[in-house]
Chain A
Amino acid sequence: MSTFLGMPGLPGLPGPSGPVGTAGPRATERGTLRGGRTFPAAARTALADGQLRRNLGHATATIRAKRAAVVAELPDWEALRDAGSAVKADVLARLPELLEQLEANVTARGGVVHWARDADEANRIVVDLVRAVGTRTGSPVDRVVKVKSMATQEIGLNEALADAGIAAVETDLAELIVQLGHDTPSHILVPAIHRNRAEIREIFLREMPGVDPGLTDDPRVLAMAARTHLRRTFLAARVAVSGANFGIAETGTLAVVESEGNGRMCLTLPETLITVMGIEKLLPTWRDLEVFLQLLPRSSTGERMNPYTSMWTGVTPGDGPQDVHLVLLDNGRTAALADPAGRQALHCIRCSACLNVCPVYERAGGHAYGSVYPGPIGAVLTPQLAGMHGHGDPVDSLPYASSLCGACFDACPVKIDIPSMLVHLRSVHVEGERARRRLPTPEAAAMRAAATVLSSERLWTASGRALGAGRLLARGGRIAAPLPFPLSRWTSSRDLPEPPAETFRQWWARTRGDRRPGGAGSAR
């Protein structure tokens, strides 16, 4: 693709290939993908929080070092990435038949498969299933245990369950910290990454009934407090809700990758298990797991292998849940699939390596993105799932939340070219704005003015002379004073270098007389 670096209005710009999203509507708006403020506004608040920046800096530096060490151990890492990327591309190309195959295999093994067009439908299915357990057993279910899952966060399932009078208990330690702190997640893998041990201790002391008042902030002690807090809940749970890291079409097997054992508790102890899985989480064959079980743990927690991975295929008589459901979720995924330049975002296996290496994420933190999917992958996934609506829509600001440094691309275990996609989405956004507005955007106006100047030698020479006036504002090599509006929009977050004493053309004229620079001119 041609490189488009966010400068709107240039002729010859490839526009979006048809209206994005003809294949399916965007995600249902539940506030989980669309924040209240644009990224720059939210980031400004986050950047002012010194504690947050220290917490994030410490955590991301730790995980980056761990990941680098275990990735370096594998001489075939690049070959694994190539295989992972090819498998995911194959999944999308054959999505209808692979989904049907998965459905047939899950059903053949005693599981029940449900399809959900959007978040509301998925939530309704889950609520109905939980209520049905109550009806069947004659004793209503008032709480479910949950394994950490991005899909259920995306659809706002906990809120939907709460509306139906069903408490959803998050059992992953970081999710529990977020839930007890009445907070929102800020990282795909470690939702409480923005909290340090002292803050976590305070949340536990405040919110955990019956917690030892002598609780220290030793991570080991905090983990033990979570164990004690959740133990009874696990052992009494009747319904669990999970996501899935992988669904194997060939066998109907679902897999959940975790660390603490809370996943195993949820997947093993309750009688009913409801799994909500995005339609893109498929793998065609059992053998494909040999690739992803190497890529995912090393990329996410920086471990050779995560402590626990559970795999189940429908119902196993006498072992684990006997009432097993799978909800296949679209919620904007087919809209993303419709854009050939954007569908790569659906390759994502939610490892969060791109967040940990991103200089923007490391400083601004996850909340600034306003979406359950923050960081570089969130900046490309969220606009595609939720759509960019214009008129100052916070989602529109996400493709710009990047310096395009490319660290995310290098870290991605399935080689998602996030920088190119960001550039593509910027172009989609600019074209959308152009179509929506009667008046040109400031960028478009500026570019049009630039085009006029650049195509006239007289104006160009004059502008070079005018530039010299800028030296009057310069101190120490750059323009010190903020420029007046609208130029202040540029200088508020960027340094403007001091204009040179003379332009190239002035230098040429001074040193070579009036001979014209350029190929034909200098040959004369």
Chain B
Amino acid sequence: MTAPSAREEVLARIRTALGTAPGSVAEPATVPRGYVRGSVHAPGSAALLDLLAERLLDYRAEVVRCTPADLAGTVAGALALRRAACLARHPEHPVGFAVPAGLDPGWLARTAPPLLVDSPDRPLPVAALDEAAGVVTGCAVAVAETGTLVLDGTAPCGRRVLTLVPDHHLVVVHAGQVVGTVPEAVARLDPRRPLTWISGPSATSDIELDRVEGVHGPRALVVVLVEPGPVEPGA
């Protein structure tokens, strides 16, 4: 007889501790879910967009609001500021922005090149991301109550490393993606995808419990919040 594997032994210990027979399956308990599931405000409503903006500002993210018509111009403007700041610090460095291949090209229609395109078959090396001026992505869902943006690895979000190594992250959030509560966001997400929940720029509270922004993740988070409005002509 061979000795029981760790798996067998741990499972047997649990059954002994619980006093249940091997192979028995307990009924799931009924969990009281009297907490708030949905927001009183509809997804994408003006009240939620205001709340999301307020929460993000509280985390010291930057929030720029625009209509679909001026999205490309707004993105270009925010990136130009970043580019200028990078050039001022390191005039010799080329300043390109990383983008996932699946990003809506319309968002970047007015942004000056170079763009570093990351695709599954041609992934950008980490060193290139480390030198990029920033990264531009979309998101899957945003939670107004907590000021959270969730990226899920779909085309507009890209690989996880893309939004991690560059020091400046610009996220485009469309009104329809903004929900009120955490339960609403969880219900919208697919757990089989790699998910990154982002609430403000990288921060730490490890020194005297004071929150300080900017450690290993992007030190700047710029959120372009696209409100319902006129669409860009010709788009």
* Residue in contact with B209 in the complex, picked from A193, A227, A306, CB distance below 8 Å: A193
- Between A and B, 23 residue pairs with Cβ closer than 8 Å are A22-B16, A59-B209, A76-B36, A82-B32, A83-B31, A83-B32, A96-B18, A177-B206, A190-B205, A190-B209, A223-B204, A260-B217, A265-B217, A293-B182, A294-B35, A304-B146, A307-B200, A307-B202, A308-B198, A310-B194, A313-B194, A318-B123, A334-B13
What does the 1/0 interface line of A83-105 toward B look like (CB < 8 Å)? Answer: 10011011011111101100000
User: How far apart sit A316 and B194, CA to CA, in the bound complex (Å)?
Assistant: 7
CB-CB under 8 A from A251, the residues of chain B are 191-192
The reply to whether A289 and B208 contact each other, CB–CB distance below 8 Å, is no
A397-B194 Cα distance, complex, nearest whole Å: 44
B194 and A83 within 8 A (CB)? no
Q: Which residues of B contact A28 (CB under 8 A)?
A: none
- Residue A173, interface by CB 8 Å: yes
Q: Residue A109 at the B interface, CB < 8 A?
A: yes
Residues of A within 8 A of B109 (CB): none
Taking Cβ atoms with an 8 Å cutoff, the residues of A that contact B are 22-24, 55, 58-59, 62-63, 66, 74-76, 79-80, 82-83, 86-87, 89-90, 92-97, 99-100, 109, 114-117, 121, 171-174, 177, 190, 192-193, 196-197, 200, 219-220, 222-224, 226-227, 230-231, 234-235, 248, 251, 253, 259-262, 264-265, 267-269, 279, 284, 286-291, 293-294, 297, 301, 303-313, 316, 318-320, 328, 330, 334-335, 337-338, 343
Is the beta-carbon distance between B206 and A190 smaller than 8 angstroms? Answer: yes
B20: which A residues are within 8 A, CB to CB?
96
Given known A-B contacts A305-B146, A319-B153, A312 and B194 have beta carbons under 8 A apart: yes
Per the bound structure, the CA–CA distance linking A22 and B216 in Å amounts to 45
Let me know if B14 and A279 touch, CB within 8 A.
yes
Q: Closest residue to A70 on the B side, CB-wise? A: B146
From known contacts A310-B195, A328-B10, infer whether A319 and B215 are also in contact, taking CB-CB under 8 Å.
no
Q: Please judge, given known A-B contacts A308-B197, A337-B18, whether A86 and B13 are in contact too, CB under 8 Å.
A: no
Please report the C-alpha to C-alpha distance between residue A288 and residue B33 in the assembled complex, in whole angstroms.
10
Question: Cα distance A311–B193 when bound, in Å?
Answer: 8
Interface residues of B in 193-235 (CB under 8 A from A): 193-212, 214-218
Is A173 a contact of B191 with CB atoms below 8 Å? Answer: no
Interface centre among B126, B193, B207, B212 (most CB of A within 10 A): B207
| Interface SS, A side | helix
Per-position 1/0 for B123-149, Cβ under 8 A of A: 100110010000000000001011110
Q: Are A235's CB and B130's CB within 8 A?
A: yes
User: A313 touching B199 by the CB < 8 A rule?
Assistant: no
Alpha-carbon separation in the docked complex, A66 to B30 (Å) = 32
Q: In chain B, what residue has the closest Cβ to A172?
A: B206
Greatest chain A CB density within 10 A among B16, B17, B33, B126 is at B17
